[in-house]
Structure 1
């Protein structure tokens, strides 16, 4: 078992460049620092330093351990911060990951709700389109787009929030601008504005719906995100088709029209880390997300 205190001293020696400098920085004697280094090398069975003239330098193994120690000590620091929060009466840190259109439409309300009910909670918000492959990278809560019934991985639970239908956003004067709904195939001859540069699941879902309607859309302009695509629509360049959540705030002069036969739909889910599911901050976040997903809130 590695001693975290010895790892800190070891990193100080590597960063400071010598035992004497590390001892001065840490407030220890050079002899005490040397003893800790000797014990660490005995624990690991590795030669972590090599003589270099009258000094010493890290070996290749020493450099590798220093890099890993940085990651480990960062995690220890996070744990120590959590303990300090709990001792001070705060309720710790909550990490929420979400995709772009949720950020504008939902997250302001969610953050305000948590901040009002639990002002001591520190929120870390992360913009992520995909679920990370490793558990260590994953947030406490993540709002994701995924097929119904998908498996979020061991230690996590997925809850369906809402199905988000796609809509067409049309420029002023478009022939369908005065209609409430239009068949998807009616837009087959248009030159569309693409709004998903990443070619993610949402775009694949749209292309699948177009295939079901018997056509492949022609994209005249490729935009990197929904706001840019909507700006192109406002300029009269062409229509765009996107999930309704991405069309909550529209530029002046454009029209949102529902789609029929078929109506593309994306499913939005909340993935929760099982270890924190019953904490107060997570319960409030879940309630806020369910409320805002159900409809507009003040």
Structure 2
């Protein structure tokens, strides 16, 4: 079994680039650092470091072990934090991942509800658009956009929360601004403001809807997020089309109009780790997310 302390020393050497720097960072003598490295290489049977001038550089095997050591030590740190919480009488930690528009529209109230019910819980909030491939990197709860009936993976359970329709946000005085709804094709000749720099699922969904309406949107300018896109609309640059949750907080000088024929839609789900689904804080968090979705309404 690998010695965790030697892994920490090795990671410090790789990060700092030399035995002397690692010794200074860790408060050890260079001789002690060298002894730990020699023992680790003997323990693994691998050449992990090579000379590079006055310093050291990891070999290919060293790079691989350093990356894995980072993950192992992070998980060990999380376990140590949990033990400290339990010893102090706190209820432990809860990690929640969510995407940006849910963060602005739902998470402040969700977090307030969790902390009012469980004041001792330590929250780890993560802004994340995709579900990580690695189980170890996944949060206890993640709010995701996905197609209905998607597979969340073994050991996780998905629950549908809301179908979030897309809307058109138009500058004040736009020719369509006075309508209660517009056909998606009515925007075919407009110069759009793009709002999905990541080119994620939400944008793909919108492009599919435009294709179904018989056109491809002409993007005039690209924004990296919804608030910036809305600011561009308010400046009169052009319309943008985004999910209704992203239009929850509109700046002055714009108006929001429902889209029809077709109405692009994204489905929002929670994904809960089965190992923690019965934990009180998890149940409170999921209930708060359900309440937030219900308050918005299933179809606007």
- TM normalised by structure 1 equals 0.83
Q: Is the 8 A contact 1:166 1:242 kept in 2?
A: yes
Please tell me whether the aligned partners of residues 47 and 62 of structure 2 are also in contact (alpha carbons under 8 angstroms).
no
In the alignment, the residues of structure 2 paired with residue 220 and residue 44 of structure 1 have an alpha-carbon distance, to the nearest angstrom, of 56
- Residue 221 of structure 2 is matched in structure 1 by 221
Closer/same/farther in 2, CA of residues 257 and 59 from structure 1, 3 Å limit = closer
Aligned match of 1:80: 80
Question: Residue 252 of structure 2 aligns with which residue?
Answer: 252
Listed as ranges, the gaps of 5+ residues in structure 2 are 51-55
Structure whose alpha-carbon radius of gyration is higher: 1
Tell me, in whole angstroms, the C-alpha distance in 1 between the residues paired with 2:268 and 2:49: 52
Q: Name the counterpart of 1:99.
A: 99
Q: Which residue of 1 is the match for residue 125 of structure 2?
A: 125
Kindly report the root-mean-square deviation, in angstroms, between the aligned alpha carbons of the 2 structures: 3.2
Once the two structures are overlaid, the 10-residue window that deviates more, 212-221 or 235-244, is: 212-221
Q: Does 1:236 align with 2:198?
A: no
- Segments of structure 1 that go 5 or more residues without pairing to the other structure are 51-56
Which residue does 2:196 correspond to in 1?
196
Q: CA deviation at 1:256?
A: 0.7
- TM-score of the two chains, using structure 2 as the length reference: 0.83
Report if aligned partners of 1:165, 1:265 keep a CA contact under 8 Å in 2.
Answer: yes
Q: Say if 1:47 and 1:61, in contact at 8 Å, map to a contact too.
A: no
Task: Map 1:59-208 onto structure 2 (within 5 A).
Answer: 60=59, 63=62, 65=65, 68-208=68-208
- Write the distance in 2 (CA, Å) between the matches of 1:93 and 1:158: 21
Decide whether aligned partners of structure 1 residues 256 and 87 sit closer, same or farther in structure 2, where only a CA change above 3 A counts: same
Judged with a 3 Å threshold, the aligned counterparts in structure 2 of structure 1 residues 109 and 264 are, in CA distance, closer, same or farther, namely: same
3-state SS of paired residue (2:209)? helix
Distance in 2 of aligned mates of 1:248 and 1:13: 48
What secondary structure, in the 3-state scheme, does the structure 2 residue paired with 1:177 have?
coil
Structure 1 residues 196 and 45: CA distance shift in structure 2, 3 A: closer
TM-aligned CA distance change 1:12 to 1:199, over 3 Å: closer
Distance 1:214 1:8 in 2: 58
Given that 2:172 and 2:253 are in contact with CA atoms closer than 8 Å, whether structure 1 keeps it comes out as yes
User: 2:53 — aligned with what?
Assistant: none
- Whether contact under 8 Å (1:160, 1:268) holds in the other structure is yes
Number of aligned residues: 286
Indicate the SS of the match to 1:257.
Answer: strand
Secondary structure in 2 aligned to 1:176?
coil
Tell me, yes or no, if the aligned pair for 1:182 and 1:257 is still in contact at 8 Å.
yes
| CA drift at 1:223 | 1.5
SS of structure 2 residue aligned to 1:295: helix
- Contact 2:155–2:273, Cα closer than 8 Å, also in 1: yes
